[in-house]
Structure 1
Amino acid sequence: MKNEMLSLEDLKVFLDEKVIQYNQTHFIDSDPIQIPHRFTKKEDIEIAAFLSATIAWGNRKMIISNADRMMNFMGQAPYDFVMNHSHIDLEKLHPFVHRTFNGDDFVAFIKSLKYIYSLHGGLEAVFTNHQGQNSMQEAISLFKQLFFEIPHPSRSQKHISDPNRGSAAKRLNMFLRWMVRPNDTGVDFGLWKNISPAKLSCPLDVHSGNVARKLGLLSRKQNDGKALTELDTSLRKLDPNDPVKYDFALFGLGVFEKF
């Protein structure tokens, strides 16, 4: 396909078809979103999704395997573990490791999640209350500040990105997609009703970035915050109400079709 030959209208038709192809339940089988899909309670889904997204970099099979280990460490009851853990429970988390995310980070995240749910109304409330008029990037930055208000290892801060420091915040944008986009095809959850999908941003990584460049949706070479803004602008031209649906198309074209 020669992207220079595609008009915006043709590009939309092409990508809309790819969204339909990949935004299906079979997508779950090879994606970390399968972990929160194992739960039915809202808070379990949120916490399982947040922790799975937090370690979502590297080999996808390893991500899924280690996210599954996280759930096992929490007795397959993440919300109950977050709210009612003992010191001994936290000590048992220390053997966990996924790349640079280790047991100390895991413990810190559990404590911060308890802080968020106990004193700030939970993950949904934090993101909903801090959402911007047209974007969720400021909410992500403010969430990071809030998340690390309590004592924590300084090393743990690197595991939550800050858009205000130039990051594309891929993992938190993916988490927000999971929570906010409607559950029309059984992939995303649509749990958070007070944030519009129009405000979401594409989880920008090497796959979606490379495909976006080949299609003329993105010119910036780095996958950073400026690139995310550029990609947001392009995707909003294709669908201003649900721009992040194209994550399925870009990711699918990159990972499954080697576009």
Structure 2
Amino acid sequence: MIDFDQVKSLLDEKYDLYNRPDFIENDPICIPHFFSKKQDIEVSAFFASILAWGQRKTIINKCEELMAMMGNSPHEFILNHSDQDLKVLMQFKHRTFNDIDTLYFIHFFKEFYQKHESLEDAFLLGKSSETDFMKQSLIAFHHFFFASELAPQRTRKHIATPERKSACKRINMFLRWMVRQDDRGVDFGIWHNIKPADLICPCDLHVDRVARKLGLIQRKQTDWQTAEELTQALRKMDANDPVKYDFALFGLGIMEGYGK
């Protein structure tokens, strides 16, 4: 049995080590850090999180390429682009994310930002006082994102949902960026209607491996219930900000190779 106090002490130490500005440069979160306008941060962060699979250097390069295609003003581009402007986006591809997916994302954002000031509104559709608020929020967001009759079937795979039992790593990472508030300068904390206490820990390969090694996960597979199980364990260490330990788990896994 792993000692709880020892695990907490280790994670507190690694959280302090990795939640620092020098973390930004080599992580996809550097993409929204290029911007200061709230909507630019939201759009670029959403793309950066959704495209975050593969080597981090490649992810960052592809996101920089996409932002350049939108004139490095994504919100302005989304609201005011012409059909001619969209042609350049047909050259964009990252792994299985292609031009069809890119154009639908732009379509969704245009429809959305014509009516809303902040993307946060799209994640409040499932808001309630229930303990599984984030589960309902992500399910509602997925339905909302693909409500258009123009939504391609193939694009649905790029937005995870607990309805498909996914751990929803990328969306949970995006939410961490937008919601968590501290003075470290990494996460943005620009959304205020979702509390850090509500967040679910992003559960990727590295986080999963380290969490199992530390005894924070018992469930055999990695799915939404696993992400909830991990988050519940982290809430025992910090009920108000459990997902801060994502820095520690990720750092231990990818930087230090812990648990290999």
TM-score for the superposition, normalised by structure 2: 0.95
Q: Is 2:13 aligned against 1:13?
A: no
Q: Is 2:144 aligned against 1:146?
A: yes
- 1:58-107 alpha-carbon deviations (Å, 9 max, x no partner): 11111111011110010000100111111111121011000000111101
State the aligned residue count.
255
- Which residue matches 2:157? 158
- Which residue matches 1:89? 85
Give, in angstroms, the shift of residue 131 of structure 1. 2.8
Return the alpha-carbon distance in structure 1 between the equivalents of residues 128 and 59 of structure 2.
30
- Which residue matches 2:110? 114
Of residues 10-19 and 99-108 in structure 1, the stretch that sits farther from structure 2 once superposed is 10-19
Return the alpha-carbon distance in structure 1 between the equivalents of residues 92 and 40 of structure 2.
20
SS in 2 for 1:94: helix
Contact 1:138 1:164 in 2 (8 A): no
Contact 2:125 2:140 in 1 (8 A): no
The within-5 A match list for 1:37-186 is 37-133=33-129, 134=131, 135-150=133-148, 151-186=150-185
Return the alpha-carbon distance in structure 1 between the equivalents of residues 221 and 101 of structure 2.
27
Return the alpha-carbon distance in structure 2 between the equivalents of residues 75 and 137 of structure 1.
35
- Which residue matches 2:24? 28
Return the alpha-carbon distance in structure 1 between the equivalents of residues 9 and 233 of structure 2.
14
Query: Which residue type is aligned with residue 21 of structure 1?
Result: L
Return the alpha-carbon distance in structure 1 between the equivalents of residues 43 and 220 of structure 2.
33
Query: Which residue type is aligned with residue 72 of structure 1?
Result: A
Give, in angstroms, the shift of residue 129 of structure 1. 4.4
Rate the CA distance shift 1:132–1:255 in 2: closer, same or farther, 3 A. Answer: farther
Contact 1:113 1:147 in 2 (8 A): no
Q: Is 2:223 aligned against 1:219?
A: no
Query: Which residue type is aligned with residue 211 of structure 1?
Result: V
Give, in angstroms, the shift of residue 222 of structure 1. 2.0
Rate the CA distance shift 1:183–1:71 in 2: closer, same or farther, 3 A. Answer: farther
- 1:8-64 alpha-carbon deviations (Å, 9 max, x no partner): 222111111110000001110110000000000000000000011110011111111
Return the alpha-carbon distance in structure 1 between the equivalents of residues 117 and 195 of structure 2.
19
- Which residue matches 2:190? 191
Contact 1:201 1:244 in 2 (8 A): yes
Return the alpha-carbon distance in structure 2 between the equivalents of residues 200 and 76 of structure 1.
29
Query: Which residue type is aligned with residue 185 of structure 1?
Result: R
- Which residue matches 2:234? 235
Give, in angstroms, the shift of residue 203 of structure 1. 0.7
SS in 1 for 2:114: helix
- Which residue matches 1:257? 256
Give, in angstroms, the shift of residue 137 of structure 1. 2.1
SS in 1 for 2:79: helix
Contact 2:201 2:243 in 1 (8 A): yes
TM-score for the superposition, normalised by structure 1: 0.95
Aligned residues with identical type, % of pairs: 50
Return the alpha-carbon distance in structure 2 between the equivalents of residues 221 and 60 of structure 1.
27
Give, in angstroms, the shift of residue 126 of structure 1. 1.7
Give, in angstroms, the shift of residue 152 of structure 1. 2.1
CA RMSD of aligned residues (A): 1.2
Return the alpha-carbon distance in structure 1 between the equivalents of residues 125 and 100 of structure 2.
29
SS in 2 for 1:92: helix
Where do 5+ consecutive residues of structure 1 fail to align?
none
